[in-house]
Amino acid sequence: MKKIFYLLMIISLASCNKTPPSSPCTNCPPEVDSNNINVSILIDLSDRIDPATNPNPTMEYFQRDTEYIKAIERGFLNHIKSKKIITYDDQMQVFFNPEPSDPKMNEFTKELKISFDKNTQRNYFDLVDKKYSELPLNIYQSAIKDRKYVGSDIWEFFKNKVKDYCIKDDKRNILFILTDGYMYHEDTKFAEESKTSYLTTRLIKANNLTTSNFKDLIEKNKFGFVKANDNLSNLEVIVLGITPEKGNPFEEAVIKEYWENWFKEMKIKNYQIKSADLPSNLEPIILKAISGK
């Protein structure tokens, strides 16, 4: 009898110590699948692309940009082809900020917004390749012909649009920015103490960032971009095309320091800032950034 009693006691205690099953998560964020990518391209259509204002005899900057975009598209398609069709859930798109006056630009961006899912037909790869071989050049040619360079409001894009346009909670998000590194737009030009929403060569000179101790001056005076967003940790950013004006041997390093500090302040952990170079030199970097390897 005692044995039965003790056995019942042990069973009772064991059942009391069992951890109750956890309740299912109701408002949990979607789980990120890093194998599904969301690629965005932000193009700076300021006068940096004007072959008359900023000529480059080796290869014009607008031509470099179109080749960068082609390399991005190639990396995107390579990534998708490496997956099983049933796992396709990827997209890519192109943005400007602000939008150019030419209404055809809207049609170009619509055509360049592409997505793949498990129902995508194999011939869609060829269609995407055709679009990204032709339309980016049309965009640059239209902007150059129009000559109404609207500037580059990258700061406002990060403040008001980047989360809605470039970030999907369930995907790996990659943003490529094609720019010379200078940031300026008359509608978003302001300062908060020593930080600004813009960066020009005139500002760099005004802040005396023309000597080898520029980093010390930036830190001491708290120079930099005004923070545009609080937490962009789920966004990877690759800046391509940094092109400093001549006359200051430290100009390029100053530009990169501004961008790097800005990204860190917005909690962007994974970023690269690359100088303008021939597309053949930057393509391996672009492909590696997309593959994540």
* CB count in 10 Å sphere of residue 47: 17
Torsion of the alpha carbons at 50, 53, 54 and 58, rounded to the nearest 10: 80
Scored b (16 or more CB within 10 A) or e, 109-134 reads bebbebebeeebeeeeeeebeebbee
Nearest-CA neighbor of 267 among 237, 241, 290, 288?
A: 237
Convert the pLDDT of each residue in 59-71 to its tens digit: 999 999 999 999 9
The confidence score (pLDDT) of residue 149 equals 79
Tell me, yes or no, if the pTM score tops 0.95.
no
Predicted confidence (pLDDT) at residue 18 exceeds the cutoff of 80:
no
Nearest-CA neighbor of 65 among 126, 163, 143, 130?
A: 143
Q: In this structure, what are the phi and psi dihedrals at residue 258, rounded to the nearest 5 degrees?
A: -60, -50
Predicted confidence (pLDDT) at residue 22 exceeds the cutoff of 70:
no
Q: Could you confirm whether domain 33-291 is CATH 3.30.300?
A: no
Stronger pLDDT, 16 or 130, i.e. the higher one: 130
Residue 47 binned pLDDT confidence (cut-offs 50, 70, 90): very high
The confidence score (pLDDT) of residue 34 equals 85
* CB 163 within 8 Å of CB 29: no
Residue 101 binned pLDDT confidence (cut-offs 50, 70, 90): confident
Nearest-CA neighbor of 95 among 62, 34, 136, 60?
A: 136
The pair of structure tokens assigned to 80 is 């998708």
Convert the pLDDT of each residue in 277-291 to its tens digit: 999 999 999 999 999
For residue 206, what is the DSSP state? H
